[in-house]
A and B are shown apart, each in its own frame.
Chain A
Amino acid sequence: MQTRKKYIFLTFLASWLLLFFFGGDQLRRFAFFSGRKAEARRNWPRWTDRTLLKSFADPEELQGDGDPSLLSPRERRAAWLSIYRNSRCRMETCFDFSRCERNGFKVFTYPQERGQPVSETYGKILSSIERSRYHTLNPEEACLFILSIDTLDRDHLSGQYVRNVDEKIRGFPLWNGGRNHLIFNLYSGTWPSYTGELGFDIGQAILAKASFDTESFRPGFDVSIPLFSKDHPQRGGDRGWLHQDSVPPKKKYLLVFKGKRYLTGIGSGTRNALHHIHNGKDIISLTTCKHGKDWEKHKDTRCDKDNVDYERFDYQELLHNSTFCIVPRGRRLGSFRFLEALQAACIPVLLSDGWELPFAEAIDWGKAAVVGSERLLLQIPSTVRCIHPERVLAFQQQTQFLWDAYFSSVDKIVHTTLEIIKDRLSPRRSRSRLLWNTLPGGLLVLPEFSTHLGDFPFYYLQHGYSPSKKFTAFIRVVSQPGSLSQPILRLIQAVSGSQYCAQIVVLWSCEKPPPPSGKWPQSTVPLTIIQGRRKVRGAGGRQGSGTGAGAGTATAQPHPPVLPPQPSHRFFPFEAIQTDAVLSLDEDTSLSTSEVDFAFLVWRSFPERIVGFPTQSHFWDPEQGRWGYTSKWTNELSIVLTAAAFYHRYYHSLFTEYLPAGLRELVDGLAACEDILMNVLVAAVTKLPPIKVTQRKQHREVVAQQAECRDGAAGTPQPGQQSPSAPHSAPAKLKGTAGSRRFSQRQDCLNQLADWFGYMPLLSSQLRLDPVLFKDQVSVLRKKYPGLEKP
């Protein structure tokens, strides 16, 4: 026994030695022997004459890069137009910019033709466009055209395939070779190759398509959109599933996949390999062979066992409980599971080589997904295992941000597509990548307002800016008869007494002209008066709503045709407002200087929120199945009245320019709704509740000015409409019919807004911010804001 072993060992040893003497060359690469590397890494030589080497180009050549024999720039551009067409389209060769210069970015949708039904999804896309602020009914002023023909499903085996599209398109007088047209498509090509074939000639039209491959994608021209199901909500959309930032950010499973395994055909390369990474513990990769009619024909030995395993796990449960989700290509490059994983905060691990990712022109997917390579599938487990928990946490949050900003509804997908195209039209007024990829996202940041990050309320911390140290007091006056009333004089006094007040702007929305400047109180800060009505007509974006309401009042006021002040006009982005902070006030608001000072300092800590005094709240009324609204004293708040509130000036722009005219009309039609809309808007942007600050509770009696108000602004459609938001009155105490009507109108407003947004953006807060020593038993002398405590 022993000797035998010895011999074995000796033979073993001998073979080792032999191997090393003769086969050593092969083994040289072993890292084991890398000792020599330290001795002499063969670097690029330091040539002795390296300083004498000639430059790659002589300076003349670099600085004088011209060739007079070349085509002139104009001729070259003209020549391009004929060369770079169709598959080589770019914006500068296939898009007519001049159409957009005249009237701005207006989108026209072809009218629906009879007997030409469109699919539910295409209907949603069209209605998203019609709801957008860019929609126009006039093809003359349009910059972009959308067909009424449903081009979403171009798989000619599909039931929704529309035939003879080419022929139909040729009949459209506006088609113009497809110039300035945008074509939506979700499915192209068919079994077995699933190419990008659409079955008709799109000419010079921009293609917004799901599952775009990088090869046929015309960069800077086409738009890649995500694949979404026909159940995708029109507006609002479900929230993401991440409700908390768990630490460590691990879930039950590390990596999951559950889906079909293609045994043959395109995409089978990856789908057929996915089962290899399944380990039954933290990596679950389940495949089924069951798909298509004849799957049993191609069935292999795995199928039966796999099919059993497959049924044991629930897809939804896996989505909820996994840190990473594999998103492989299907037959086409994109799949539903991409958006599903994104919503579930299951970090997508993309295995779809050559896929032009959705909205990649704007979205930096490297922050929200792991872009894997189909060829390196087997490395995926170790790759994702190595991603540091901090990064996982950031990935998870980014998936939720992107989902909510660009994907959760058809509206968002379509509007993102439009905004991307719009950004190309005027590179100067466009969003940088940074804006697209940080909260609150590109759709809510208007480049028309500014392209400087410091002008928005969202980027102060990220970029080390701080909001301006002064504010503008903005007082809306609707009911002053001839001379100025006491409350407004007191208000101007109190506000101008604040050390942080830069200017006072009065929006004069009364019938009678404002008193001459001599009648206004003298104060240290400049006072500007804007006359509401004239502005309404001047404001381009608001013309629609202005004239509409004007027609209604024309009967009451035969001449001159004066427009009534629209409630939403108070949120027009007036040029006169020069500071970041706006203190919005009603004429009958009563505030003290110290209240203003304190509230302003609080706002500087929360510049993206509304910070104010009187508050109200909303709640879900299960009995009536609708949102309820209350102005009673409650332990919670979700609405800060804009009768006395600080907010960022940008919200004026967002209110007027971002919200579609239809929504503002709706608000103007309801009484006392505009401040709710402002709160809803800010909550939708920030996803945070407003902030209430301390307020002296002394003006709890009913506001007195109502009667005068009606006098002041005759021609108002409804009497209640003109009433200011009555900040210091609790409408519960208003026993009269006016009060209860107002109350029910506000409740109506709340429900209509929730419907418009598709969800209820308002959030509740349980706190109020007080000065640090508020009502503490310390000497008043030590307190900075003793004035706030007076009974």
Chain B
Amino acid sequence: IMCASAKYNTRGPALIPRMKTKHRIYYITLFSIVLLGLIATGMFQFWPHSIESSSDWTVEKRSVHDVPVVKLPVDSPIPERGDLSCRMHTCFDVYRCGFNPKNKIKVYIYSLKKYVDEYGTLVSNTISREYNELLTAISDSEFYTDDVNRACLFVPSIDVLNQNALRIKETAQALAQLSRWDRGTNHLLFNMLPGGPPDYNTALDVPRDRALLAGGGFSTWTYRQGYDVSIPVYSPLSGEVDLPERGPGPRRFFILSSQMALHPEYRLELEALQAENGESVLVLDKCTNLSDGVPALRKRCYKNQVFDYPQVLQESTFCVVLRGARLGQAVLSDVLQAGCVPVIIADSYILPFSEVLDWKRASVVIPEEKMPEMYSILQSIPQRQIEEMQRQARWFWEAYFRSMKAIALATLQIINDRIYPYAAISYEEWNDPPAVKWSSVSNPLFLPLIPPQSQGFTAVVLTYDRVESLFRVITEVSKVPSLSKLLVVWNNQNKNPPEDSLWPKIRVPLKVVRTAENKLSNRFFPYDEIETEAVLAIDDDIIMLTSDELQFGYEVWREFPDRLVGYPGRLHLWDHEMNKWKYESEWTNEVSMVLTGAAFYHKYFNYLYTYKMPGDIKNWVDAHMNCEDIAMNFLVANVTGKSVIKVTPRKKFKCPECTAIDGLSLDQTHMVERSECINKFASVFGTMPLKVVEHRADPVLYKDDFPEKLKSFPNIGSL
């Protein structure tokens, strides 16, 4: 089985027992003969075939009019009408789709034919421009297969986008004679204009048996939830008119109606609204007195004023989308394109792609009966939300409405998500516009949990050769009540770690991990030996931290398990002279980083550091032997959006005489290098994720006038 988690499987291939040499020769000879035979067979069998079979495809220079003609006998079978009870588990053959590592369905497109009836009259137009675009898009996509036997979904090339343009019975017959029709199982039809006079059915009238329908204009009674796909009615204006996205800000009109063939009853209601609310409501109509030659479809009029359509849509905050004879209206697409918030008034309408799109974020749906209250309903929406809805509307158009390609791919993706639900695209990916995706965070540890104290933490000490100091650190850390294991990462390949007997005897298990290379990133590897959530990263020279300070740090981490909780705090600053970031290790009133020389954090971040660090940061850190701590701070802040927590006032860590600023970062070149790191990382992350705060965590009774012996953590050093 192939799957993404294969990298966690480290076992090698099973060993093949060695055969005797003599036998081996036989086998090898035999194998080569068979192989040669196979190759020869392949040459004879498949070469001519492939040339032959692709001959009618590879020739690009063909016209739609040259496609083969198929005559449909009068008595050729007609499929059953669509079955309203169809669902994926009853009418769809999943076995055709199979289990595949990519989790992609395979879509086959029937070749184009021209269908004529007994008398040679065309059944429908061969293919429309839009349907051709749609099929081209599918054919160019990852979903496409040209092998009918491997396909999971079949798309007929018979164009049923517009029911008015076809003959229903004959089209049905044409469908039924498709080579893999099989009662329409796994067949997908695209239709945008269903129904016809007088009753305007809300789904395609062509009998189609079990075929799935991607339809524009479903009502809740014809839509088979989880089986059909509701799609938009494509507006060809999308391709013709370029409306640049309009930023937030006031617009000339509050409500605008631009549809031309409104039912008089609706028009009356809209005009009443206009009369009531004055100029903020604009109800446009067809222009009657245009001079010849002006394309009437691109103009709208109100009394004598002439407006350009669809540009006028950008002048309004809300745009009314009323149902016509059909529920689905092409104007919805124009409205979204203009970044105008659609006010959808079409009872029982299934909005396009409603299975995945959250229309509440981009539109206002008002029941037909509530039309008179429209103005007050819309007035109650806060301005900030309107701006977001405008942005959202525009995003829906860009992603799912703007072209037949967008419509086709969204439809296939929805079906794909049903078949491979565990690999489905998430709500956020469908709905969040790029600006939100960019500025928001999705915390991988989002559930508010205070981990049980009992599991304790694992201290991870990175060391090279300072054995004496290391032993002191081990002894000190082992005094912390919640320590559950101590892991020494021995980063020196030239020297063996001291013998077992020389190590300090401590009450918790002590493990030594030897690394293959002296890399700083070894400190952040998610070792299997770390069995607790909490990791205490500590340098081998941090000897000043008291047991109370460490225990308290662990308690603080439990309250903030998704943050870096550490002792030495640092700050990044914007250097206005140099126009870049600067690293600050002075005692400041603010903190934006904690050094991982002594810090608690969740083991999950080890995974992130090792496998998900953006760009080349990880290698860069290993190459420069510096800034792994800054990289960790960036990583955690970027994924959680939260600040670090500095605990306790402690500022000296190595020895009482040391200055507070530790040796490593003391000299000037190092400071410069650290600043470089910040600038480098900020450019890789594309943003500055670090958050500056002015607080640190102390025990509740720290420095309070209260008997020390009653405090939980009395021994909190002052510097």
Q: Which residues of A contact B (CB under 8 A)?
A: 5, 9, 12-13, 16-17, 20-21, 24-25, 28-29, 33, 36-37, 39-51, 53-57, 59-70, 72-74, 77, 84, 88, 90, 92, 97, 214-215, 219-220, 242-248, 353-354, 364, 366-367, 370-376, 379, 382-390, 393-394, 397, 400-401, 427-428, 430-434, 437, 439, 450-452, 454-455, 461-464, 598, 601-602, 605, 615, 633-637, 686-689, 692-693, 697, 763, 765-778, 782-785
Name the A residues within 8 Å of B443 (CB-CB).
Answer: 461
Q: Would you call A598 and B382 a contact (CB within 8 A)?
A: no
Name the A residues within 8 Å of B526 (CB-CB).
Answer: 247-248
Q: Would you call A243 and B693 a contact (CB within 8 A)?
A: no
User: A172 to chain B: closest CB distance in Å?
Assistant: 28
Q: A45-B57, A53-B127, A242-B449 known; A766 and B696 CB under 8 Å?
A: no
Q: Would you call A364 and B561 a contact (CB within 8 A)?
A: no
User: B340 to chain A: closest CB distance in Å?
Assistant: 16
Q: Would you call B132 and A245 a contact (CB within 8 A)?
A: no
User: A62 to chain B: closest CB distance in Å?
Assistant: 4
Query: Residue A386 contacts which of B5, B61, B263, B561 (CB distance < 8 angstroms)?
Result: B5
Q: Closest 9 A-B residue pairs measured CB to CB? A: A66-B261, A464-B439, A386-B3, A44-B139, A65-B324, A353-B89, A20-B41, A56-B128, A397-B447
Map CB proximity to A onto B220-246 as digits: 1 under 8 Å, 0 otherwise.
110101100000011111000000000
Q: Would you call B450 and A763 a contact (CB within 8 A)?
A: yes
Q: Would you call B699 and A65 a contact (CB within 8 A)?
A: no
Q: A243-B449, A454-B384 known; A375 and B95 CB under 8 Å?
A: yes
Query: Residue A634 contacts which of B431, B452, B700 (CB distance < 8 angstroms)?
Result: B700
In the complex, which residue of chain B has the Cβ closest to the Cβ of A766? B555
Q: A13-B30, A244-B452, A774-B698 known; A53 and B129 CB under 8 Å?
A: yes
B501 interfacial by beta-carbon distance below 8 Å: no
Q: Would you call A376 and B695 a contact (CB within 8 A)?
A: no
Name the B residues within 8 Å of A464 (CB-CB).
Answer: 436, 438-440
B303 interfacial by beta-carbon distance below 8 Å: no
Name the B residues within 8 Å of A21 (CB-CB).
Answer: 41, 44-45
In the complex, which residue of chain A has the Cβ closest to the Cβ of B329? A65
User: A741 to chain B: closest CB distance in Å?
Assistant: 27
Q: Would you call A49 and B65 a contact (CB within 8 A)?
A: yes
Size of the B side of the interface (Cβ < 8 Å), in residues, is 180
Name the B residues within 8 Å of A401 (CB-CB).
Answer: 446-447
Name the B residues within 8 Å of A386 (CB-CB).
Answer: 1, 3-5, 101, 422
Q: A56-B159, A59-B236 known; A382 and B99 CB under 8 Å?
A: yes
Q: Would you call A219 and B533 a contact (CB within 8 A)?
A: no
B649 interfacial by beta-carbon distance below 8 Å: yes
Most chain B CB inside 10 Å of its own CB: which residue of A49, A464, A602, A767: A767
Name the B residues within 8 Å of A39 (CB-CB).
Answer: 50, 54
User: B703 to chain A: closest CB distance in Å?
Assistant: 5
Choose, from B167-175, B312-320, B361-369, the stretch at the interface.
Answer: B361-369
Q: What are 19 A-B contacts with C-beta separation under 8 Å?
A: A28-B49, A40-B54, A48-B63, A56-B192, A57-B193, A72-B265, A244-B451, A245-B533, A245-B604, A374-B89, A383-B422, A390-B444, A393-B445, A433-B358, A439-B446, A454-B384, A772-B588, A784-B694, A785-B589
Q: A54-B128, A55-B128 known; A767 and B221 CB under 8 Å?
A: no
B642 interfacial by beta-carbon distance below 8 Å: yes
B302 interfacial by beta-carbon distance below 8 Å: no
In the assembly, what is the distance between CA of A777 and CA of B652, in Å? 12
Name the A residues within 8 Å of B42 (CB-CB).
Answer: 33
Q: Would you call A774 and B696 a contact (CB within 8 A)?
A: yes
Name the A residues within 8 Å of B561 (CB-CB).
Answer: 245
Name the B residues within 8 Å of A72 (CB-CB).
Answer: 263-265
In the assembly, what is the distance between CA of A450 and CA of B382, in Å? 8
Name the A residues within 8 Å of B422 (CB-CB).
Answer: 370-371, 383-384, 386-387
In the assembly, what is the distance between CA of A49 and CA of B127, in Å? 11
Q: Would you call B421 and A47 a contact (CB within 8 A)?
A: no
Name the A residues within 8 Å of B80 (CB-CB).
Answer: none
Q: Would you call B45 and A776 a contact (CB within 8 A)?
A: no
Name the B residues within 8 Å of A9 (CB-CB).
Answer: 26, 30
In the complex, which residue of chain B has the Cβ closest to the Cβ of A767? B697
Give the residues from 25 to 47 in chain B that come closer than 8 angstroms, CB to CB, to chain A.
26, 30, 33-34, 37-38, 41-42, 44-46
B162 interfacial by beta-carbon distance below 8 Å: yes
B556 interfacial by beta-carbon distance below 8 Å: yes
In the complex, which residue of chain B has the Cβ closest to the Cβ of A70? B325
B677 interfacial by beta-carbon distance below 8 Å: no
Query: Residue A770 contacts which of B261, B426, B696 (CB distance < 8 angstroms)?
Result: B696
Q: Would you call A74 and B128 a contact (CB within 8 A)?
A: no
Q: Would you call A451 and B381 a contact (CB within 8 A)?
A: yes
In the complex, which residue of chain A has the Cβ closest to the Cβ of B357? A433
Q: Would you call A769 and B695 a contact (CB within 8 A)?
A: yes
In the assembly, what is the distance between CA of A62 and CA of B147, in Å? 36
User: B94 to chain A: closest CB distance in Å?
Assistant: 6
Q: Would you call B533 and A62 a contact (CB within 8 A)?
A: no
B304 interfacial by beta-carbon distance below 8 Å: no
Name the B residues within 8 Å of A51 (CB-CB).
Answer: 129
In the assembly, what is the distance between CA of A637 and CA of B559, in Å? 13
Q: Would you call B369 and A77 a contact (CB within 8 A)?
A: yes
Name the B residues within 8 Å of A431 (CB-CB).
Answer: 360
